[in-house]
Structure 1
Amino acid sequence: MNNHAPAGGKPALAPSAGVRHRGKNIIAVASGKGGVGKTWFSITLSHALSLRGQKTLLFDGDLGLANVDIQLGLMPRHDLGSVISGKITLNQAFSHYEAGNFDVLAGRSGSGSLANVPLSRLQLLGEDLVIAATGYNKVILDLGAGVEKSVRQLSRVANTILVVTSDEPTSLTDAYAFIKVTALERPGCDIRVVVNAANTTREGERTYNTLRKACEGFLKISPPLAGIVRRDMRVREAIRNQTPILVRSPNSEAAMDVEAIAERLLAD
């Protein structure tokens, strides 16, 4: 497949550029658009995997607007900023989140100070993450929204990418843009779709089919459906209370839907 420039006219990275190794147990969670519940999903998926006996690390890779620590009510001693600045090593920045029994590497919440990290530094960070991942069963990499080079660079260390979308037209359009750029740069990459905040499972399937048909028609690929998470008011309550939904409302529809996605990932 030929390499094309992503939107904006900037040249895409070559298919093998910018990464030497890839973590087979690293799952990146991406979205073309912000506000689709990507971070909440990353937290809940990490928790669901931990409940299934998987030693799990949640890596907040949103370099511009990190908020994993805020959603969890954490006040970590160290964050990704300290790692990138060279003050501490990656392993020294991990915190253990007792309520979910998984480890967290927090970003620098709300400062935006990491958004312009040089790609060469991100490549080194990615290589360090691949090494650190050997100490875990699963690593969930919560990426920033969009298709910027920094997002694409970090995504390259993941073996599987879950693209989170909703039924909003802008969300679908931006999810398609992320899939397009990723597929052009990494032909054959394991990209799967998660439909979040679907009113019903059937509506979620329709949303997925809209995206799938666009991918088949224009990209000649058919990313499979990883799962559908139904709209649930208890998600907002859990976020507002800075408590994982699998602690606060473990029997809610949204919680059970993410647990089903975790089960399918482990069955691969």
Structure 2
Amino acid sequence: MSFSGKKSGHMSSAPRIAPAQILAVASGKGGVGKTWLSTTLAASFAKAGKRTLLIDGDFGCANVDVQLGIAPDTDLAAVMAGWVELDDAVTPVNGGAGTQGGFDVLPGRSGSGVLAELPKDDAARLAAGLTTLAMQYDMVLVDLAAGIDANVMRLARAADRALVVANDEPTSMTDAYAFIKVLRGYAPSVTPWIAVNMADTRVAGRRTYEALARASQTFLGFRPPLAGIVLRDSKVREAIRTQKTLLSIYPNAQAAIDAEQIAEAILRGGADSIAEAS
């Protein structure tokens, strides 16, 4: 299995001087809109002029390609099987990275035992390969599987920051806190941020964030910053159903505006976002 080789035609032929910022998008449990937020953030970074790569790191239950309506020729499972190089598994979306609003995707494969049961050493090598691939981009997002299993944490450790997505359900908040706790022990150099999704109001979203922040401060000794709050929006379901990014079909939808504000906060690197704005 090799992670070096030819560069895909839509990618830069020369590496960047510095690697991209790597953002792992995580959640303690499924069903909180993590993958939707990952694809929308990728579109937001691309709109901001950043060469962006979105990696489907949900081993075994990948669905980034489904949400985006793309049919990749190859994927991470083929890479891990040694059939193709990592670079050649990259698929362009809306023209690919470097085009207006376009970005690249490194797809996984739903139900693949090759990825779902990836051995420790191969997972570590994949994480290292992704770090090398980041030299081609300004921003790299890794849509992690929900939960805290070992391979999830190995990929998270390769990131600069982790965006932990949660909503107001008690199980979501409990599991989000569990992810933050494990991440702090496993990869203390990776800064966790919190994004509250599907909030009924900004006040309710802030309440969800404060509950997680207080628990982290009390038991872990630090307060994770708030990246932003995404209000509940019926346009999100429509975008997922049509397999398009929300920004491409409903750029003025509230959830699209909220996601763009999160992207802006991440690019600024500030401690607390503009989640209470507008």
Common fold, TM-score beyond 0.5? Answer: yes
Q: Equivalent residue for 2:192?
A: 191
| Equivalent position of 1:72 in the other structure | 68
1:136 — aligned with what? 137
Which residues of structure 1 form unaligned runs of 5+? 1-22
Give the 5 Å matches for 1:34-73: 34-73=30-69
Tell me the amino acid that sits aligned with residue 207 of structure 2.
Answer: R
1:129-176 per-residue CA deviation (whole Å, 9 max, x = no partner) reads: 111101100001000000000100111110010000000000000000
Q: Which moved more, 1:194-203 or 1:93-102?
A: 93-102
For 1:194, what is the secondary structure of its paired residue? strand
Q: Is the 8 A contact 2:233 2:255 kept in 1?
A: yes
Distance in 2, matches of 1:110 and 1:122, equals: 17
Query: Is the partner of 2:82 in helix, strand or coil?
Result: coil
The letter for the 2-side match of 1:73 is G
Aligned-pair CA distance for 1:113 = 4.5
Q: Distance in 2 between matches of 1:169 and 1:25?
A: 31
SS at match of 2:116: coil
SS of the equivalent of 1:216 reads helix
Look up the match of 1:20.
none
Matched-pair contact (CA < 8 Å) for 2:157–2:190: no
2: CA distance between counterparts of 1:123 and 1:67? 22
Q: Determine if contact 1:24/1:158 at 8 Å carries over to the other structure.
A: no
Please name the residue that 1:104 is paired with: 105
Secondary structure, counterpart of 1:114 in structure 2? helix
1-structure distance, mates of 2:61, 2:190: 26
1:260 aligned partner? 261
2:36 maps to amino acid = W
Spell out the pairing of 1:213-232 with structure 2 (5 A cutoff). 213-232=214-233
Distance 1:66 1:58 in 2: 12
* SS across alignment from 2:136: coil
In structure 2, C-alpha distance between the alignment counterparts of 1:123 and 1:188, rounded to whole Å: 17
Which residue of 1 is the match for residue 236 of structure 2?
235
Contact 2:157 2:186 survives alignment (8 Å): no
Write the letter of the residue equivalent to 1:192: W
Aligned partners of 1:163 and 1:191 also within 8 Å? yes
Matched with 2:28 is 32
Greater CA drift, 97-106 or 54-63: 97-106
Aligned length: 246
Q: How does 1:80-95 map to 2 (within 5 A)?
A: 80-95=76-91
Aligned residue for 1:165?
166
Taking structure 1 as reference, are residues 145 and 210 closer, same or farther at Cα in structure 2, changes over 3 Å only? same
Root mean square deviation of aligned Cα? 1.2
In 2, the alpha carbon distance for the partners of 1:243 and 1:257 equals: 17
Distance (whole Å) between structure 1 residues aligned to residue 209 and residue 149 of structure 2: 24
1:139 counterpart SS class:
strand
Corresponding residue SS for 1:153: helix
What's the TM-score, normalizing by structure 2?
0.86
The one-character-per-residue Cα deviations of 1:188-230 (angstroms, maximum 9, x if unpaired) are 4311000000001111000000111111111111101011011
- TM-score, normalised on structure 1? 0.89
Runs of 4+ in 1 over 6 A off after TM superposition: none
SS in 2 for 1:158: coil
Q: Is the 8 A contact 1:44 1:245 kept in 2?
A: yes
